[in-house]
Structure 1
Amino acid sequence: MNLTQLRRQFPALMQQVAGQSPIFLDGPGGSQVPQSVLSAMTAYLGYYNSNLGGAFFSSDKTVELMANARQAAADLLNAPSKEQIVFGANMTSLTFSFSRAISRDWTAGDEIIVTNADHYSNVSSWQQAAEDKGATVKTALINEADCSLDMAHFESLLSSKTKLVAVTYASNTTGSINDIKRIVELAHAVGALVYVDAVHYAPHELVDVQALDCDFLACSAYKFFGPHLGIVYGKREHLEGFTPYKV
């Protein structure tokens, strides 16, 4: 497929603005959507819009579509099964809900590690959850010379008190890519869980949650040509053991 054929799949790229074809550089706002996605969304809303679990054809269609969507997300992230995929309004809202479920058993004296390379969506929820439980939040620094995570400083923050590490896969500010597999190994060695923000990594590189061995990984479908939707992968033992913050 050549560039012209590729552009034709996106209505936004075929329009004229002030006599010119637009170029979209709004990363935070997400990617533009191809006609195939628009058609699929219109067809569902036009013919099958329904809740799950009803005893009628449109609900059956919704159940089928949801199962297919979970499997597609599992395939994208190389999750072991579609049951380990959670959808939500967006990554920020999902992370907030997960932070409340994960922190349910935290107590005063527990420690949480975030990094100053992270988008605030993967920092604020953990800060608030820690404050509610009397836990301490520590921030891993970056190397200012190349904007990489200071791994020596990160490792110095780890201890038997560490309950969770929240870390970005790729910085939304600098594009720096973290060694998630190594971070997971270090965190697991002290018994801590790892929550990875892959929002800015997933659109550009393949994600393999099994190879990373992370406990959770979040991304956003609207960053890679999908609807405004948040996705979280979680290890089965965690998802089955948590009490939801809200249903």
Structure 2
Amino acid sequence: MRRSFPVLAGGVLAALSLPALAQDPAIAQLTEHLEVDGQKMPVKSVEETPLTGFYEVRLETGERFYTDVQGDYFLVGDLYENADDGLVNLSEKARNAERAERLAAIPDDERVVFRGTDAPKARITVFTDTTCPYCRHLHEEVPRLNEMGIEVDYLAFPRGGMSSQGGRELQQVWCADNASEALTAGMRGETIDGDASCDNPVEEQYHLGMALGVQGTPAIVLPDGRLVPGYVPAERLATMLGLNDQ
């Protein structure tokens, strides 16, 4: 199973030794022996698809594609189901499930959390940057979101990279004694007290965001894993979460 595939080559040259992920011999074969240019691909998982004879391959790099059982042919793109109620993006559903799973694994002490006094009805995760104007605009609406029962959990995503102003400020936020106050100060353009030298998760969250498809800020992830790029007004977010119907 040796094929030249330049589109994926940049992300698949590392060789990993992984156990078979399922009892299906085809899945085990693809997991252990899928190669490009003689190099094992860093396969994270292989799953069956509704398309007979084709499998979804997910790499450690986050890339996804589809292949036949021999690994002779690759399809790169989204797989849709032509359902009775319209087209369903099965690839995006899988990405949503992965986002929800990976975000659920982040402990509360690595988030900057804003919640109201009552038990929340829904929780959103926002990848943010203190230097981002639309992040600041969204942060102004956090009190209203909390009033509507929406908890806002922030994760760091310095859009200019770790060495940017945002990268430094976000590390200061996560190192602060009161991270929520520090984040609010940063969103207001105020000086954030403290340094950025503590052991903090900012860089890890930055790379996680990229792996989950975040390309800018704010990036809002709904409870089901749907990624909503950019600023969304509070009332519209409540509608997307089904809270205005209650």
TM-score where L is the length of structure 1: 0.31
More helix by share: 1
More strand by share: 2
